[in-house]
Structure 1
Amino acid sequence: MKTTESLFLCLNTESGVPGRIQILPAGKEIRGVDGRHWKNENPAALCAKMNSSGLVTVKNGCVIDENHSTDLSAPKGGTSPAFGWFRNFTVEADGSIWADVEWNARGQKAVAEKEYKYISPVFTRDKDGNITEILRAALTNNPNLDNPALNSSQDTAEEKNMEKELCAALGLPETATMADGLEAINRLKTELNGAKNKVVDLASYAPRADLAAAQQRAERAEKELAEMNAASLKAKAIAAVEQAAKDGKIAPASKAEYLELCASEDGLAKFEKIMAVTPSITGGAQVSDKAPENKDSVELNAAEKEWASSMGYTEEHWKEIKEAGK
């Protein structure tokens, strides 16, 4: 059983009315813009068959009508005027099939004035989808799904450049068909959808042992840096407290407590700020950390009282701290 089918291709009208038109695009499998597909595994044999068929030898060519009127209008008693005829089928280097066309006055006017842009060949196929015979063609402006025509030969320079860029972006040769492009896009979409739900395994990019060693090195470096910062802070605190005691701004007996207060960056900053405005009570002489004779405790000097107050300690509480630290 043979079935009649059709698809859409662009007319080559860049330089006027064409003398040759593309009948079938290149490819052993031809896909229409609506998703249907057919086989043309031996275009040379199909051309030879057509050139010896009665359509060409007896009728001098296959008719070109408009909007498939021969198939849609004529069977219902409507008109189906001819716009031209095509014959002398040839195969181009890319495998596409072309034919010489003879336009009548109606056809020349329709094409020259760009009343129609597309050629839609009508052909038969067998049950396996093999194209068996080309019957006729139609001028039309209504490609199904409003997609660009297959293997357009009248693209503008801008459209051709865009096609080259799209092919390059999709990793396809410049000779790729629309079907090839759609297939590549769908393949990319499938890969992207799969990547969204994929858990990345770092071991696939680097050996697990190397990743573990790198992580250990990072943790060790982080620990060493923290220890260095702590040591540096401690050294700064000791220096600041020792200098304050040397200047007579704090009692030597209270250095341990001041060092505890300077254990953080914030505490050290506050201590240095207070010491900067605290006068030397002893005039630069060392303050004894021992209790005077016949006394049980060391009295606070003015600087210590001010320090205790700034840190929120009562004088009695600070005395207790000093006594405990003797």
Structure 2
Amino acid sequence: MKNNLLAASCSFDLSNLSDHFVLIPEGVFRSEIDGRPYDAPHWELTPERGHQMAAALNQRKIDMVIDYEHATLKSKTTGEPAPAAGWLKSAGFTYVEGVGLCSTDFEWLDKAKTHIEAQEYKYISPVFLYTKTGDITALINVALTNTPALDQLPEAKLAAAAQELFSQDLPQQDSTMEELLEQLRWMLNLPLSATAEEITAELDKLKTQIKEKTGVAVAANSQTLYDALNAIDQLKIAANSSNAVDPAQYVPMAVYQEAVQKAGNADAAAKSKEIDDLIVAACGDGRLTGEATIGWYKDQAKTNPDFVKAQLEALPKIAALTSQQTEQIDLRGGQAKTPPAVDDVQASIDAQFGF
């Protein structure tokens, strides 16, 4: 923005000096001596800009010089001394509505006082920056003068000198702005080389996303990021309310786990009884014989009941062990009886199952 700024000086009568040292008047004005500006329609200081300038000047770490005939600026090219005529104290700038940019804390040195009392100097001449439309943007310094001596400097050198002095006087502003840009780059995950324009574009995207997701237009109608955060909290509350748990539909975890354990135990008991019945039946129809074989199947049933079940169902039955071995005839003419067959196999089965 500095490249688009121009520098100028304008003289005001010292006889109007009071406890409020008027540096730049409010409103639209031109030079009463030569009719400048020639490169803008006029000069203008608005109250809004005046308050901004006063706030910026009060952030200065050093007092602003009042010199003779703008010697401070000319010394940059001539190398000649630039003694002070007085000082505008830092933190003493203010903007008075209807008057302009003023200083309420200023000091004249003895030599300058003598010149002013002898009317050897009659005017003060502020040096300020302005845009091509005439809007005043910054105060550089002030000089005692009888003519707008600054015109003796070529315009290009004047602008360069004024901008250099301005940047030297306000280092804190540039530093603060760079720190702000650095924080924004970090927050937006932008590279260190991101320009102010790129940061602004990314902020615009973020504002659009916030509005789409929360309905809050950031910085519009006094709404800020805090309003957006509050909207997010409300959305969370609404979501939690819609997903509220009905206690009647659920049981405590301990109760559920106990029920699952009981169901598992019952299923295991039923499975065990089923296998035991199958083993008994297999022993009875001849599919299983011998203590070792029966014991092996019972051990397997403890860990793999489905395997035992499949094996038992696949074993062939032995007919000799399932049919009657002998018949007894009642010699007295009674009905024939078949005595139960009790052999070593049956005795083994009875022993295995405790019969």
TM range (shorter): 0.3 to 0.5
TM-score in terms of structure 2 length: 0.35
User: Of the two, which has the highest radius of gyration?
Assistant: 2
Query: RCO greater where, 1 or 2, for CA within 8 Å and sep 6 or more?
Result: 1
